[in-house]
Amino acid sequence: MWFVLLRCTLFLALAGTGSFVHALTASCSEGNGGYYDNSRNCTFRNVIVDDVATTVTFSSGSGYRYNTPYHFRFVDSKLIEVPRKIFDSYSTVQLLGVAECSIESISRYTFEKASSLLLLNLSTNSLQEVKNYVFTGASSLNHLDLSNNNISVIEEKAFANLYELTSLFLAGNSLKALEEAVFAPLTKLRKISMARNQLQILSNELFLHNTALTMVFLQNNQLVMLEKDMFQNVEGLEYLWLKNNNLTSLEFNDLNVKIIGVTNNQLKKIKLNPSVQQLFASNNSISMIEADDFAKLKIKSLDLAWNNLTSLDSISQITAVELMDLSHNALGPLKLTSFSKLTNLIDLNLEDTKISNLQHGTFSQLSSLKRLDISYNKLNRIDVDIFTSSHHLEELYIDGNRLKEFSYQEIHKIFPQMNKISIADNYWNCTFLTKMIRSLNTQTIVVGGFKSESLIADKTNVKGIYCTDDTNPLNEWNTTLKHLDKYLNNSEPIVDTTEIKQIMQNAIDDIEKFNEQKMALANTSEKLEGEILDLTKKQLALENDLIQVKQTILDVKLSQLQNATTNDTFVSSDLKRMMTELNDLTVAKFNLTSQKLELKIYEQSFKIDKFMDKINENAEKLLILRKQLDQTANPAFASYNPATFQGLKSEPSTAGSSHTLTIVIMGTLIVLLVAALAVLYRKSRRVTLRGKSCYSTSNTLATMMDNDI
């Protein structure tokens, strides 16, 4: 009896201390149970291990009677650490997948019996560190994935004995620094990814022993610089990915790499060497491309979009290039020799490069060109004959310019392989656009570049491409205002600003277009008035010459009359005729003088009209200034009375009141100046008219005849 009581007491004591060893059996879900099942995969599902003391027994089931599984993975499971018992149960484990299993640590002796393990996937767990020698025993491992954990520390000997490792993934962790010799044992390493960490500086000897490297991924870190000798012993590097860092310079004189990605950094210059075949360097501040010898460069793909390039002098020497993206650089006008050496160019992107005009000969050497983008350059005219040499052209992008016309009729004859033209965001007339799209479609050319349906639906368009309707020029502006009003009256916060940005851009384009039309009409009107003025002057000059001729003839006749005989009849008739001619000449002189006076009055009024336009502009500015004064005026000054003013004079003025008083004085002076100019204008007008009246009354026909005779 006492023995039974002792056993019960011991049982309760063990239960109270939690010292029970829990046992758990996990079986594979793969295998159909047949004798000839060839499956080598074994999947354990819903394995939950909450305590390190839990003993897990692994069973492959009856489906693997003759075939031993090689590939093991855990699905929908929760493990505290990598189950080492699986290597006790199966000596042939080649692949072990324990991703997303909440593993927090790796014990040092976990893999001591994993000599056959080739691939280990530990991604997306809760690891925080990798200690020394934790992978001892996995001497055949060639693929290790530790990505998407929270690893911040990797000890120097963590990868010791992994001499066969070829791929190492450490992306998506919290690494800030690495030990200088941490990768030294990995002499066969070919691919390494450390993207999406917090790395700032890497040791110059980090990859000193990894001579077999072909791919290095370091994007999305905080790297400020890379030592130029970091890859000095790596001879076959193919990919070097450094996107989204803080690099300010990149100079690898001896770097033998084929593809470099440095997008979204702070590079100001970059130096190339003959080994580079593809360069992705958009979204930097690059203003200079350097090379020891541009003629020896073998680069075929060059992406330099969104940089600070202003010249193509160096780039135009890279004769091997086939794909070139120079978009969003302020290149300005192109030279005739800009692309003369780029005979292998297939794809050229010049979007938003501030090109002002296209010259014949600029693209004459681009016989291999298949895709050309010259969109958003504010070009007023594009002559298709400029691209005649590029008879293999397949795609042409001319969006976002100021085109009103385009020679589309012979496109397919000039470019027989053309299959797409993008023409949106221009100044097309709807009638012209309709004819162009119809013609291009009959030539089996797709017309692209459509705007979003929400922005173009209620605006004049042809198949989604915006155009202007001459019958209702204000319709587009009213539609833009209606779209904008929808957002202004919307109480909910705006999450996606893409559409409203496009609306604002449409408004700016409409305003710019109306201003251009107004300026064009004003210039035409002013030009016509100037031409009329010139013609009037010429007419008056001709009339003056005619009067001079008549005056000369009359003088000759008068001299003849003085030498004539004394025959009364002859003298009387000639004198009568001469008096008539003299009278006509006097009238013509009077008319000419009157016309000259009117011309001077017209010139003066023309100048006064221009002057009054400037006065009106100043008046509008003065009105704006007054509104600003009303908003910023000092309350004490606004509620002015003599007593308050005396008090203000006796006190030191502040900077704000002094500034306000200065503006008020300047405004008053402007008002007085405008009034004075108006008074002078009226006085000059009256004096001019009075002078004309006096002239017309004093210069009578008799007086002028007396003077002439």
DSSP-assigned states of every residue in 29-70: S---S-TT----EEEEES-B---TT-EEEEE--GGGSS----
Q: Which strand (E) or helix (H) includes residue 80? A: none
Cα 15 to Cα 2: distance, rounded to the nearest angstrom: 20
Cα 160 to Cα 162: distance, rounded to the nearest angstrom: 6
CB 355 within 8 A of CB 377: yes
Task: Over range 416-421, report the average pLDDT.
Answer: 92
More confident residue, 68 or 339: 339
More confident residue, 434 or 708: 434
Task: Over range 143-170, report the average pLDDT.
Answer: 95
Task: Over range 558-574, report the average pLDDT.
Answer: 59
CB 121 within 8 A of CB 145: yes
Confidence of residue 705 (pLDDT cuts 50, 70, 90): very low
More confident residue, 251 or 384: 384
pLDDT at residue 4 tops 60 = no
Q: Which two tokens stand for residue 172?
A: 């998506």
Task: Over range 165-189, report the average pLDDT.
Answer: 95
Q: Note the pLDDT of residue 102.
A: 92
pLDDT digits (tens, 9 = 90+) for 280-328: 999 999 999 988 888 889 999 999 999 999 999 999 999 999 999 999 9
CB 281 within 8 A of CB 262: yes
pLDDT at residue 125 tops 90 = yes
CB 140 within 8 A of CB 163: no
Q: Note the pLDDT of residue 86.
A: 87
Cα 295 to Cα 160: distance, rounded to the nearest angstrom: 45
Confidence of residue 654 (pLDDT cuts 50, 70, 90): very low
Cα 438 to Cα 278: distance, rounded to the nearest angstrom: 40
pLDDT at residue 103 tops 50 = yes
**Cα torsion for 87, 90, 92, 95, to the nearest 10°?**
-60
Q: Which two tokens stand for residue 432?
A: 């012209």
Task: Over range 154-178, report the average pLDDT.
Answer: 95
Angle between helices 568-632 and 498-562 (to 10 degrees): 160
pLDDT digits (tens, 9 = 90+) for 521-533: 667 666 777 777 7
CB 421 within 8 A of CB 465: no
Q: Quick one: how many helices (H) and strands (E) in the chain? A: 12, 27
CB 368 within 8 A of CB 393: no
What letter would DSSP give residue 385? G
pLDDT winner (highest mean) among 193-207, 450-464, 658-672: 193-207
pLDDT winner (highest mean) among 368-382, 540-554, 640-654, 657-671: 368-382
Q: Note the pLDDT of residue 221.
A: 96
Cα 231 to Cα 202: distance, rounded to the nearest angstrom: 12
pLDDT winner (highest mean) among 192-201, 328-337, 433-442, 567-576: 192-201
User: Strand 465-466 and strand 461-462: pairing?
Assistant: antiparallel
Residues 6 or more apart whose CB falls under 8 angstroms from that of 523 comprise none
pLDDT at residue 330 tops 90 = yes
User: Strand 371-373 and strand 347-349: pairing?
Assistant: parallel
What letter would DSSP give residue 384? G
CB atoms within 10 A of CB 111: 25
Q: What are the Cα distances from residue 622, in Å, to 433, 616, 629, 630, 680? A: 45, 10, 10, 12, 20
Q: Burial-class residue 551 by CB neighbours within 10 Å (0-12, 13-18, 19+).
A: middle
DSSP letter for each residue of 462-486: ETTEE-B-TT-TTHHHHHHHHHHHH
SS3 of 73, please? strand
Q: Note the pLDDT of residue 32.
A: 43
CATH no., domain 22-165: 3.80.10.10
Cα 331 to Cα 146: distance, rounded to the nearest angstrom: 45
CB 204 within 8 A of CB 226: no
pLDDT at residue 118 tops 90 = yes
Q: Note the pLDDT of residue 613.
A: 67
Q: Where are the domains of the chain?
A: 22-165, 493-542+597-608
Residues in the chain: 709
pLDDT at residue 181 tops 80 = yes
More confident residue, 629 or 240: 240
What letter would DSSP give residue 283? S
Q: Which two tokens stand for residue 658?
A: 């002094």
Q: Which two tokens stand for residue 413?
A: 């004859």
Confidence of residue 16 (pLDDT cuts 50, 70, 90): very low
Q: Note the pLDDT of residue 35.
A: 35
Residues 6 or more apart whose CB falls under 8 angstroms from that of 459 comprise 466, 475, 476, 479, 480
Residue % of the chain over a pLDDT of 70: 63
CB atoms within 10 A of CB 245: 23
More confident residue, 630 or 116: 116
Residue % of the chain over a pLDDT of 90: 34
Question: What letter represents residue 146's amino acid?
Answer: L
Q: Which two tokens stand for residue 369?
A: 């060109």
Confidence of residue 148 (pLDDT cuts 50, 70, 90): very high
Cα 682 to Cα 676: distance, rounded to the nearest angstrom: 10
Single out the residue of 232, 230, 179, 237 nearest to residue 205, CA to CA. Answer: 230
Cα 178 to Cα 129: distance, rounded to the nearest angstrom: 12
CB 70 within 8 A of CB 43: no
Indicate yes or no: pTM above 0.75. Answer: no
pLDDT digits (tens, 9 = 90+) for 582-620: 677 777 766 777 676 677 776 666 666 666 666 666 666
Task: Over range 649-658, report the average pLDDT.
Answer: 43
CB atoms within 10 A of CB 67: 15
Residue that the structure tokens 């000599």 belong to: 115
- Mean pLDDT score of the chain: 76
User: Strand 129-130 and strand 153-154: pairing?
Assistant: parallel
Confidence of residue 56 (pLDDT cuts 50, 70, 90): confident
Give residue 372's Cα distance to chain centre.
Answer: 17
pLDDT digits (tens, 9 = 90+) for 250-289: 876 667 889 999 999 999 998 888 889 999 999 999 999 9
Confidence of residue 217 (pLDDT cuts 50, 70, 90): very high
Confidence of residue 184 (pLDDT cuts 50, 70, 90): very high
CB atoms within 10 A of CB 587: 12
Task: Over range 21-40, report the average pLDDT.
Answer: 56
pLDDT at residue 548 tops 50 = yes
CB 269 within 8 A of CB 249: yes
Confidence of residue 229 (pLDDT cuts 50, 70, 90): confident
Q: Which two tokens stand for residue 345?
A: 């160019």
Q: Note the pLDDT of residue 630.
A: 54
